[in-house]
Structure formats: structure tokens, C-alpha cells
């Protein structure tokens, strides 16, 4: 409600919804256009994006905490090592394994049914599949249309016919067409296939492959991927697990072969030495007639035999340590095979050597597929360099312990040797021979046991991995999610025009809405006039009922409540800039007041750019400027207009050079 300028204006509380509607409703065509365009874009995206199915599989790695020393299965697999989950995850998603999957499943050849907006995968509907003789030499080719005659068992490409189940020379290389083992149905539309490189197909699989550990407390690893064909996705994950297990068995067999060679070489040497000692004992007994020794000799022989066995074990461990040290100090492993740690009692050494071996193996794999400055390759190289000092320190500590034990055993043996001279010469010589024979015999039995364990590991096909869940695809596509996409599109369809409108208002310097005046000032609002694009300067006339004419009538009524006690009212129409409608409002307000039988004088005081005379279609040579200069009286320049008898007009008159100075110290009317 209007008040005078000295009192505050009581503003009506408005709900946020009504505020938004008031702000954005004038731009409803923009919202409609945005809604149509964005929803069409969402519909087009959904229709042209192939649906993706999610495929999951899980495996469990060997866990050290669940290993039992007396377990028969573990006894058959003495060379198996406990795996670090993070390392195995990196191996599972290595390019080497994925490329093997591509070659084994022949994924470098993809089959499609020609569809409408997007082609449909024909992995399970194509009657044939393709094997390339040399996948590494594939030249990428797109859309090779073909037909298969089941009656003749021939594949037709263009005008050429090719048999199945044998390699044939084609323009695309040496190819063998075989019956599709994954066929589940018949194709309904023309078929074609694309040929791509093994690397490109592998990178496509790696792009969607995710491998994560189920939790930090378990060794269960979950494999996930997405594919447009659920059966193909399941085959990829299952084949990846098989390739991983095969690679693990191959590496275990390589380690077993190294140990087997080491044990065989030692067996040959010990066997030769044992035969020589047995011949020596036989010859001695035959020549000297020594058959038995005394009780003292037997006791001595038993004690010295035990110490000699310990000394032999120590020497063997020192020999193994030397081999391991030589391997660790070498900067590169040419054959990629870790030296055997058979005979070492410290399990830490075996674990460290195996970790170094695994890191070296991973380094060799990555080196074949990535560059020297690849971050993954650098990370593996750094881990190898960090393992070497730990291994060398462990070797040094063990060698010091073994040397100390060797010194003690040597001292004990020397004391027994001193006692040997108290035994008769014949018995002493026989004891010495028997002692050497017992040492070599024990060592021979130990090596035979290790050889048998190694052979069991070589011929064992037990895997360190247990399949928890085979690959299984989701029953429904996981992407694109139509409902979510349409919901997001709806939000964007409303947000984009709202943002444009807000941005426009942010940079707008004009007052557009009534609430802006009410929020920033305490001036009373007596009416609102709509913007009129018409060229007629007079929009209100007697009997005229247009919308803008009614607005002027409402404003005329509201003026009656402003300074209602005064008989004569003076109304100043002004604005800060030109072209904002001062002349238009003043003219039509004056006409509106004159139509209500009130005497109205319209004064044109815009001495810089007068326009009322033009709007009223009058031309007076004298006006307000003459009066302000004292050249005439008001009665001489105020003229009645032809629009209404109650409307009078005082023109601006001749334009002065300094119009602002004319208003200084002028008497008020």
C-alpha cells in the first residue's frame, strides 16, 4: 500500500516459489526450447550408446596363515610362495596377460549385426569366428561384410569364397574361419566383422577392467569389467584367470627346474665322493683285516660323525649364501631364474629372495611393453633397489653366524682328532674312513629328499589360486541408466535457461521489476506501466480500454491518495537517463488527468532534448526558456491543446546554450 516518502514501506512476505515464478515466468519460451533440446539430446544419447553389462568374478590367493606344515597338499607343493595381494593385482591387469587373453579368445576380430542407430554385437549370433595366423601383423580393417553357407561350409566375402577350419590367404592376411563356439542364436540382420590389432583390443579390455581387494583382512580379489555382450565379458574374465594360473604354474616350474638342476649337480658330486670312500673302506678292511672297532671307537665315531654332519650343513649353507649373494649383486638377471635356497634354515632369506625374484619378473614383463621412463617400470625398479640392501645385510648376518658356528664345530672336531691318537692306529684309520662315509651318506640322503620334493612340485598342477566365483554378468545393463540420464537432462534443461536469465540480470543496469525498487528504496509505488512497442505517443483516449490505458487510469486513481489535501498538485516526471519514458509517461498521465475533468498543464522542462512538442504535434516559438529569461509571462505561453479542452501545454521554447543555469534562483509557481 502506498505511503508518503517519510514512512517505511511494509513489504508483503513472498514465498520462494512465487519469487522464482515471478522472476522466470516471462522467459517461459526459453525454458520450453531448452527442455525440448536437452531431452532430445538425452534421448539421442540413450539410443546411440550401446548398453553395458557388468561382469564380476572373484578369486582367493594362497594365505600363509592358513598353511599347515603337515598338510599333504602343501607337501606336494614345496616351492609355492605366499603372494602379496597388491603385486598380484598388478600382474592380473598387466598388458602381457590381457594380450594373451585377446590372442586366445581371438578378440582382435569383432562381429556385429548391422542395426539402426547403433550396431549390435554378434559375438553369440555369428555362425563363425576368426583365427589369424599372425595376430601381431594385423592391419586394422572395418566393416568386412560376409555370408556363411552352412550347406557348403563356405564363407563368402564379396565375390570370394573361403573354406572353414583351415588357414587361407585373404586380402586381410592368413585367416582361418571356424565355427563359432559361443553361438547361441541366429543373426537377424547382415553380419560384418572388424579386424583390429592385439594391442588396441587389449587396451579396450584394460580400459574397463577393475581389480580390487575385497578387504585388507582377506586375500580375496574381485575382478570387474563392463561389456556390451555379457557372454564375451564372462569369457574374458574366466580366460584372464586361466591365463594368470597358467603363468603362475610356469613360473613355479621354472623355479623348480632351477632347484632340480642344483640338487642334481650336488647329488652327482656327493655320489662320486661316496663311492670313492666306500671303495677306500673296502680296500682298507681287505688289506688291514680291520673288521670291528672297540666301544671307545664307536662312541668317538658317533660324536665326530654328528659334528662333521653339522659342519657339512654349515658349509652347504655358506655355499648357498654365496650363490644368492652373487645373484643379488648382479644388476640384471639374464635368465630370470632365482638361485635355490635349499638348506637355508632362515625363512626370511627365502621370502626376500622370492620377493626380489617376483619384482625382477614383473620388471622384465613391463620392460617388454612400456618405455624406460614409464612410472610403473620406475616404481618396480625402485622396489628392486630397496630389496637388494636388505638381502645383502641378511646374507652378511647369516654368514657371520655360520662362520661362528663353523669355528666352534672346527674346534670341537679338532679336540676329537686329538683324542684320535689315543686309539690304536688301525681303529683310528677305520674310524676316519667311517666318519667320512657317514657324512657323505647323510648328505646324499638329504639331497635325495630334496630332489623328490622338487620333482613333486614340478609335476604338480596345483594352483596357488582358488576360484571363489566364476565370471557372471548382470541380468540388466548397468549403463546407460535411462532414468538417471533423463533426470539429469531435466535438471540441466531448467538450470541452463535459469543461469542465462540470472547472468543477463547480473549484467543488466536497468530496473526491471517492482520488487527491486521496494528492496532498495523506501519510495512509494503508485503504479506500473508496461513497455509499449507501439509508435503512437498517446495511448489513452476517451473510451479506449487497452491494457496500458487502464494502467494509466489506475495510476491516476492512486495519485488521489498522495498529498490529497492540496488543491493544486505538482507532479514531476523524471529519470536518470534519457530514453527511459519520461515524455511518454508525462504526456499520457496528463491526458488521463484531463479526461477526469481536471485542469492540467503539461510543462516541457527538458530544455536539453525536448520531445513533447513533437508528440503533441505542435510547434510554438516561445516557451519555458523565454519565461525563465524573463521575456514573457506564463499566460502568454500556456496554450490549450487539441486533444482535450482541459489539457494545456507549455512548450520548452527555443533551446538555450546553458539550460541548467536557467533553473538557478527561479521563483516557484
CA distance 518 to 516: 5
Residue pair 258/338 in contact (Cβ under 8 Å)? The answer is yes
pLDDT digits (tens, 9 = 90+) for 373-382: 777 778 887 8
According to DSSP, residue 164 is labeled B
- Amino acid 218: pLDDT: 81
- Amino acid 109: pLDDT: 92
Model confidence at 422, pLDDT cuts 50, 70, 90, reads low
**CA distances from residue 30 to 381, 433, 488, 496, 507 in whole angstroms, order as listed:** 60, 108, 18, 10, 19
CA distance 645 to 635: 16
Q: What is the mean pLDDT of residues 134-139?
A: 89
Percent of the chain with pLDDT over 70: 82
Model confidence at 240, pLDDT cuts 50, 70, 90, reads very high
User: Residue 150 pLDDT > 80, yes or no?
Assistant: yes
- Amino acid 515: pLDDT: 74
Q: Point out the least confidently predicted range of 278-292, 309-323, 364-378.
A: 278-292
Task: State whether residue 192 is helix, strand or coil.
Answer: strand
Tally Cβ neighbours within 10 Å of residue 45: 13
The winner for highest mean pLDDT among 162-176, 425-439, 457-471 is: 162-176
Residues 6+ away with beta carbon under 8 Å from 427 = 290, 293, 294, 297
Q: Starting at the edge strand that comes first in sequence, how are the strands of the sheet with 639-640 ordered?
A: 600-603, 647-650, 639-640
- Amino acid 598: pLDDT: 86
Which set of grid coordinates corresponds to residue 299?
662312541
The residue ranges of every structural domain in the chain are 53-245, 262-471, 526-663
Please identify which residue in the block is written with the cell numbers 572395418. 142
**CA distances from residue 29 to 19, 477, 506 in whole angstroms, order as listed:** 18, 36, 20
Burial class (CB within 10 angstroms; exposed 0-12, middle 13-18, buried 19+) of 334: exposed
User: Residue 296 pLDDT > 60, yes or no?
Assistant: no
Residue pair 392/325 in contact (Cβ under 8 Å)? The answer is yes
Residue pair 342/262 in contact (Cβ under 8 Å)? The answer is yes
Which set of grid coordinates corresponds to residue 150?
552352412
pLDDT digits (tens, 9 = 90+) for 168-199: 999 988 999 999 998 888 888 899 999 999 99
User: Residue 127 pLDDT > 70, yes or no?
Assistant: yes
According to DSSP, residue 25 is labeled G
Q: What is the mean pLDDT of residues 293-301?
A: 60
Q: How are beta strands 128-132 and 173-179 bridged, if at all?
A: antiparallel
Half-sphere exposure of 267 (CA within 13 A, CB side): 14
- Amino acid 664: pLDDT: 60
Please identify which residue in the block is written with the cell numbers 686309539. 423
* Higher-pLDDT residue of 15, 61: 61
Q: What is the mean pLDDT of residues 375-390?
A: 80
Model confidence at 439, pLDDT cuts 50, 70, 90, reads confident
CA distance 73 to 460: 10
CA distance 239 to 201: 15
CA distance 339 to 328: 10
Which set of grid coordinates corresponds to residue 647?
489539457
CA distance 49 to 71: 53
**CA distances from residue 262 to 310, 314, 448 in whole angstroms, order as listed:** 21, 17, 12
- Amino acid 198: pLDDT: 92
Half-sphere exposure of 644 (CA within 13 A, CB side): 23
- Amino acid 13: pLDDT: 54
- Amino acid 331: pLDDT: 54
CATH of span 526-663: 3.40.50.300
pLDDT digits (tens, 9 = 90+) for 562-586: 765 566 788 888 887 777 788 888 8
- Amino acid 429: pLDDT: 66
Q: Which residues pair with 195 in a beta bridge?
A: 109, 141
User: Residue 324 pLDDT > 80, yes or no?
Assistant: no
Residues 6+ away with beta carbon under 8 Å from 122 = 111, 112, 113, 187, 191
CA distance 455 to 94: 30
User: Residue 302 pLDDT > 80, yes or no?
Assistant: no
Q: What is the mean pLDDT of residues 86-113?
A: 90
Residue pair 172/125 in contact (Cβ under 8 Å)? The answer is no
Please identify which residue in the block is written with the cell numbers 681287505. 286
Residues 622, 623, 628, 634, CA torsion sign: positive
- Amino acid 565: pLDDT: 56
Q: How are beta strands 647-650 and 600-603 bridged, if at all?
A: parallel
User: Residue 78 pLDDT > 60, yes or no?
Assistant: no
CA distance 268 to 444: 9
Residue pair 597/628 in contact (Cβ under 8 Å)? The answer is no
* Higher-pLDDT residue of 179, 80: 179
- Amino acid 460: pLDDT: 57
- Amino acid 69: pLDDT: 44
Task: State whether residue 449 is helix, strand or coil.
Answer: helix
* Element housing 175 (H / E): strand 173-179
Task: State whether residue 54 is helix, strand or coil.
Answer: strand
Q: What is the mean pLDDT of residues 353-379?
A: 75
Q: How are beta strands 109-113 and 191-195 bridged, if at all?
A: antiparallel
Residue pair 64/493 in contact (Cβ under 8 Å)? The answer is no
pLDDT digits (tens, 9 = 90+) for 328-354: 777 554 444 556 666 666 667 777 777
pLDDT digits (tens, 9 = 90+) for 490-529: 999 989 998 888 888 788 777 777 777 777 788 788 888 8
Average pLDDT of every residue of the chain: 79
User: Residue 80 pLDDT > 60, yes or no?
Assistant: no
Q: Point out the least confidently predicted range of 182-186, 241-245, 393-397, 592-596.
A: 393-397
The winner for highest mean pLDDT among 94-108, 424-438, 635-649, 655-669 is: 94-108
Q: Which residues pair with 602 in a beta bridge?
A: 649
User: CA 31 from chain center: how many Å?
Assistant: 34
- Amino acid 72: pLDDT: 39
CA distance 567 to 3: 19
* Higher-pLDDT residue of 606, 100: 100
CA distance 431 to 583: 137
* DSSP H helical ranges for 62-219: 72-75, 85-92, 95-105, 198-208
**CA distances from residue 407 to 301, 307, 397, 400 in whole angstroms, order as listed:** 20, 12, 16, 11
Task: State whether residue 147 is helix, strand or coil.
Answer: strand
Q: What is the mean pLDDT of residues 214-232?
A: 88
Length of the chain (residues): 669
Residue pair 550/588 in contact (Cβ under 8 Å)? The answer is no
User: Residue 105 pLDDT > 90, yes or no?
Assistant: yes
Amino acid at each position: 500500500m502506498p505511503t508518503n516518502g517519510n514512512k517505511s514501506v511494509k513489504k508483503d512476505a513472498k514465498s520462494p516459489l512465487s519469487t522464482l515464478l515471478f522472476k522466470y515466468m516471462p522467459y517461459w519460451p526459453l525454458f520450453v526450447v531448452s527442455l525440448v533440446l536437452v531431452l532430445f539430446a538425452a534421448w539421442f544419447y540413450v539410443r546411440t550408446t550401446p548398453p553395458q553389462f557388468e561382469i564380476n568374478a572373484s578369486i582367493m590367493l594362497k594365505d600363509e596363515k592358513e598353511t599347515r606344515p603337515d598338510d599333504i597338499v602343501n607337501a606336494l607343493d614345496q616351492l609355492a610362495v605366499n603372494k602379496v595381494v597388491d603385486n598380484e593385482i598388478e600382474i592380473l591387469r598387466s598388458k602381457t596377460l590381457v594380450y594373451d587373453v585377446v590372442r586366445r579368445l581371438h578378440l582382435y576380430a569383432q562381429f556385429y549385426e548391422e542395426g539402426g542407430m547403433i550396431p549390435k554385437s554378434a559375438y553369440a549370433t555369428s555362425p563363425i569366428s576368426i583365427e589369424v595366423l599372425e595376430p601381431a601383423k594385423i592391419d586394422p580393417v572395418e566393416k568386412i561384410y560376409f555370408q556363411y553357407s552352412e550347406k557348403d561350409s563356405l564363407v563368402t566375402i564379396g565375390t570370394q569364397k573361403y573354406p572353414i577350419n583351415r588357414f587361407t590367404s585373404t586380402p586381410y592376411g592368413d585367416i582361418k574361419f571356424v565355427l563359432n563356439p559361443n553361438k547361441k542364436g541366429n543373426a537377424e540382420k547382415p553380419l560384418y566383422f572388424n579386424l583390429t590389432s592385439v594391442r588396441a583390443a587389449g587396451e579396450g579390455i584394460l580400459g574397463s577392467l577393475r581389480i580390487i581387494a575385497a578387504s585388507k583382512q582377506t586375500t580375496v580379489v574381485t575382478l570387474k569389467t563392463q561389456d556390451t555382450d555379457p557372454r564375451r565379458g564372462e569369457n574374458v574374465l574366466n580366460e584372464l584367470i586361466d591365463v594368470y594360473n597358467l603363468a603362475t604354474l610356469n613360473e613355479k616350474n621354472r623355479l623348480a627346474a632351477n632347484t632340480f638342476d642344483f640338487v642334481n649337480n650336488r647329488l652327482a658330486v656327493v655320489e662320486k665322493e661316496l663311492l670313492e670312500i666306500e671303495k677306500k673302506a673296502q680296500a682298507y678292511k681287505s688289506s688291514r683285516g680291520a673288521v670291528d672297532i672297540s666301544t671307545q671307537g664307536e662312541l668317538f665315531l658317533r660324536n665326530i660323525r654328528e659334528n662333521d654332519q653339522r659342519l657339512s650343513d654349515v658349509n652347504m649353507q655358506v655355499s648357498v649364501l654365496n650363490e644368492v649373494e652373487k645373484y643379488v649383486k648382479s644388476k640384471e638377471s639374464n635368465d630370470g631364474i632365482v638361485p635355490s635356497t635349499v638348506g637355508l634354515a632362515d625363512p626370511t632369506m627365502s621370502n626376500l629372495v622370492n620377493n626380489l625374484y617376483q619384482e625382477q619378473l614383473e620388471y622384465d614383463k613391463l620392460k617388454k611393453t612400456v618405455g624406460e621412463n614409464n612410472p610403473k617400470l620406475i616404481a618396480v625398479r625402485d622396489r628392486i633397489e630397496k630389496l637388494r640392501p636388505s638381502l645383502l645385510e641378511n646374507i652378511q648376518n647369516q654368514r657371520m653366524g655360520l662362520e661362528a658356528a663353523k669355528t666352534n664345530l672346527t674346534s670341537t672336531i679338532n679336540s676329537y682328532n686329538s683324542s684320535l691318537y689315543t686309539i690304536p692306529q688301525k681303529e683310528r684309520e677305520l674310524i676316519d674312513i667311517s666318519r667320512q662315509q657317514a657324512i657323505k651318506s647323510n648328505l646324499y640322503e638329504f639331497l635325495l629328499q630334496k630332489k623328490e620334493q622338487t620333482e613333486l612340485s614340478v609335476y604338480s598342477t596345483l594352483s596357488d589360486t582358488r576360484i571363489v566365483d566364476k565370471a557372471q554378468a548382470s541380468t540388466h545393463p548397468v549403463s546407460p541408466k535411462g532414468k538417471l540420464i533423463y533426470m539429469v537432462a531435466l535438471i540441466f534443461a531448467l538450470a541452463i535457461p535459469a543461469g542465462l536469465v540470472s547472468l543477463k540480470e547480473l549484467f543488466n543496469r536497468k530496473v526491471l521489476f517492482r520488487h527491486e525498487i521496494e528492496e532498495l528504496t523506501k519510495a512509494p509505488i503508485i503504479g506500473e506501466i508496461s513497455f509499449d512497442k507501439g509508435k503512437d505517443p498517446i495511448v489513452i483516449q476517451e473510451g479506449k480500454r487497452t491494457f496500458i490505458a487502464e494502467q494509466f487510469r489506475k495510476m491516476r486513481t492512486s495519485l488521489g491518495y498522495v498529498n490529497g489535501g492540496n488543491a493544486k498538485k505538482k507532479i514531476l516526471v523524471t529519470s536518470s537517463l534519457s530514453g527511459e519514458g519520461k515524455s511518454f509517461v508525462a504526456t499520457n498521465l496528463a491526458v488521463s488527468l484531463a479526461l477526469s475533468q481536471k485542469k492540467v498543464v503539461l510543462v516541457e522542462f527538458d530544455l536539453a532534448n525536448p520531445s513533447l512538442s513533437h508528440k503533441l504535434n505542435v510547434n510554438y516559438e516561445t516557451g519555458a526558456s523565454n519565461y525563465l529569461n524573463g521575456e514573457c509571462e506564463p499566460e502568454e505561453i500556456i496554450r490549450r491543446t487539441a486533444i482535450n479542452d482541459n489539457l494545456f501545454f507549455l512548450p520548452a521554447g527555443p533551446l538555450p546554450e546553458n539550460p541548467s543555469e536557467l533553473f538557478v534562483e527561479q521563483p516557484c509557481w
